[in-house]
Chains A and B, each alone.
Chain A
Amino acid sequence: MSETAAVLELRNLRKLFPAGRSGIWARTSEFVHALDGVDLRLEKGEILALAGESGCGKSTLALTLMGLEKPTQGTIWFEGEDVTRQSRAGRQRLCRQIQMVFQDPYESLNPLMTIGEIVAEPLDVHRLAQNREERRGRVEKALEEAGLKPAHIFMNRLPHELSGGQRQRVVIAAALVLEPEVLLADEPVSMLDVSIRAEILNLLAELRERRGISVLLITHDLATSAYLADRVAVMYLGRIVELGETQAVLESPAHPYTQALLSVIPVPNPRKRRERIILQGQPPNPVHVPAGCRFHPRCPKVMERCRVEDPVLAAVGAGSHQAACWLVSGGGSDE
């Protein structure tokens, strides 16, 4: 992957939300640090998994990329252009290029609209179809690309007539109809039955192969990312703490948080029951981000330095694998 190929690039992205009461009389002196300096590149045709627990900022990141939240600081680059602060029109053009696949196909489809109408709606919003034939053609194409073949038999059906897997394909078709460069897939299979998850994951892999589409897969499920993603980014309290090729991160995680997270993912084989590193409590409140390394209060390998200094991403070994931990960048010599 060359230096110039990034479809999407985030530089030092921050998003603060005022904490506590809102209203004109409320004085806000505290902030939720939802995104606290995120740097990330999504290459063309790449599937990148963004993993982390709830509250780590993954959804805020997605909303910011969709333009639904304005970043407090930092920049977003799309195909080499700074798109952080844009006019309405520019924002709308960008929306066509970055489309979202929502989590719950039982909730995200309007039960009163036919499949054809649902998939055509983005075309209408963006006024992209010149006439009815073109509109119908593009909808059918999107449905078939999402694996709903032949498309015409689905056009007039209602969401309740479809299975969960088919519904999620409709959600994907509605994202594809604008022919975007990037799909943001937020937990695309977590609401589906186990026996049909693979078909949706395979569809995303196929779309990347066939259309060179880039996918940012937002998930808390590292096992699922392992099947699909080229690279994995692990997020903790608004920052990326580990990043690298999927295999490198999963086989030799460098950050103690990633190590713990991987150790508690249930493995479907009773002969492989392992020692689980169970972190006590839950991630701290993002209003009061701990000083030093943000993971240090829960870290089983905490050192003196971690309480004072905040580690940045540093190379683990020779490849592109990086982790923000003093054990990696400080040589691990302290105590």
Chain B
Amino acid sequence: MKPVTGQKTLLSVRHLSVGYESEGKLLPAVEDVHFDLREGEVLGLVGESGCGKTTLMLSLLRLLPVAGRITRGEVRFGGQDLLDLSETEMSQVRWRDIAMIFQGAMNALNPVLPVEQQISEAIRRHDASVSAAQATRRVEELLEMVGITANRKDQYPFQFSGGMRQRVMIAMALACRPQVLIADEPTTALDVMIQAQILELLLELRERLGLAVILVTHDLGVVAEICDTVLVMYGGMTAEYSDVDRVYNHAVHPYTQNLLKAFPDLSQPNARLISIPGYPPRLDALPSGCRFSPRCPAAFERCHQETPGLYTVEEGHTARCFLVEGKV
């Protein structure tokens, strides 16, 4: 499986910080995150629940809930900063350039409308010049592309299984030929066999359409199987960011290292499975210093006082840990 990553950077996120207003305070949910996404690249965004993965993705599309605020940073796409766009301009970017499959979206299909109507609505909403007949043809094309026979277009969501509904969601996300697809936990509720089918489909679409994909997941196995690059998040910050091989085989951040040891690996059934003591921090009770320091087996004095910067281990591999700073 060769990554087909082109050189062209589609999306470039710098210093992105997001907070939620709560009782007059701003609780930091995402802080100072950087990443790049190239054409045809599959980026895995990994972390435990509450680490800010979904917030980060919603802020790229500026779809944060009312209490959410983007406090700093830029999101460059096609030569412009998406954070500078007006709401009208932004609504053109959404779906047409960057589409998102929301977590649990396959259960959010309208139960009383046939799937064709739901997909063609997405098409015609973004391009009023498309006729009804053209939209129908496009829906058939999209369904075939995701592996559903076109004659099922008149069926209702309840007539599809979970995996098939997720395919419908992918078809809908691709309706306006986006360059970037964000998929938030797209296989979490599915069986492993159906998960494998969906992941295979994403890879095929990347191949065929040159689509760049951001895969948000807590499943380290899924990331290892299909991603080119990985961004590991902890407590709203980047823990480690690099290509998939370096993150899995030369992880430098103690969180990444331990998370990998906590994940069952069928190819090493005799390895000891560890758990990381404690639990992920809450936004309203963030520890001082490095956010992982209370659970970190390698923490020393400084980790509890200062927040480490994002240090470069080597070209294309960064981590937010003082242990790295010492080595460079």
Binding site for B on A (CB under 8 A): 53-54, 163-165, 193-199, 201-202, 220-224, 226-227, 246-247, 250, 260-262, 264-273, 276, 278-280, 282
Q: Which chain A residues border B48 with CB–CB below 8 Å?
A: 193-195
Q: Which chain B residues border A272 with CB–CB below 8 Å?
A: 224, 267
Binding site for A on B (CB under 8 A): 1, 48-49, 161, 163, 191-197, 200, 218-225, 227, 244-245, 248-249, 258-260, 262-267, 269, 273-276, 279-280
- Report whether A194 and B221 are in contact in the complex, using a CB–CB cutoff of 8 Å: no
Q: Which chain A residues border B269 with CB–CB below 8 Å?
A: 226-227, 246-247, 250
Task: Supply 17 A–B pairs (Cβ within 8 Å), ascending by A.
Answer: A163-B279, A164-B279, A165-B275, A165-B279, A194-B218, A194-B219, A194-B220, A196-B276, A196-B279, A198-B273, A226-B264, A227-B264, A247-B269, A264-B193, A266-B220, A266-B224, A270-B244
B137 to chain A, nearest CB (A): 26
A284 to chain B, nearest CB (A): 12
- Report whether B193 and A269 are in contact in the complex, using a CB–CB cutoff of 8 Å: no
- Quick one: given A193-B49, A269-B249, A282-B161, are A198 and B262 in contact (CB under 8 Å)? yes
Q: Which chain B residues border A270 with CB–CB below 8 Å?
A: 224-225, 227, 244-245, 248-249
Total residue contacts A-B, CB cutoff 8 A = 129
B30 to chain A, nearest CB (A): 18
- Which one, B197, B263, B267, B274, contacts A280 given CB within 8 A? B197
Q: Which chain A residues border B263 with CB–CB below 8 Å?
A: 194, 268
- Complex-state Cα separation, A264 to B198, whole angstroms: 12
- Report whether B267 and A269 are in contact in the complex, using a CB–CB cutoff of 8 Å: yes
- Report whether A198 and B221 are in contact in the complex, using a CB–CB cutoff of 8 Å: no
* Most B Cβ at <10 Å: residue of A194, A195, A224: A195
* Most B Cβ at <10 Å: residue of A224, A250, A266: A266
* Most A Cβ at <10 Å: residue of B219, B266, B273: B266
Q: Which chain B residues border A267 with CB–CB below 8 Å?
A: 221, 224-225, 265-267
- Which one, B49, B224, B258, B275, contacts A268 given CB within 8 A? B224
- Quick one: given A195-B259, A267-B225, are A278 and B193 in contact (CB under 8 Å)? yes
- Report whether A261 and B279 are in contact in the complex, using a CB–CB cutoff of 8 Å: no
- Report whether B266 and A226 are in contact in the complex, using a CB–CB cutoff of 8 Å: yes
- A166 — nearest CB in chain B belongs to which residue? B279
- Complex-state Cα separation, A164 to B50, whole angstroms: 12
- Complex-state Cα separation, A174 to B304, whole angstroms: 37
Q: Which chain A residues border B273 with CB–CB below 8 Å?
A: 197-198, 201-202, 227
- B244 — nearest CB in chain A belongs to which residue? A270
- Complex-state Cα separation, A265 to B194, whole angstroms: 11
- Report whether B259 and A198 are in contact in the complex, using a CB–CB cutoff of 8 Å: no
- Report whether B266 and A223 are in contact in the complex, using a CB–CB cutoff of 8 Å: yes
- Complex-state Cα separation, A250 to B266, whole angstroms: 8
- Report whether A269 and B219 are in contact in the complex, using a CB–CB cutoff of 8 Å: no
- Complex-state Cα separation, A265 to B222, whole angstroms: 9
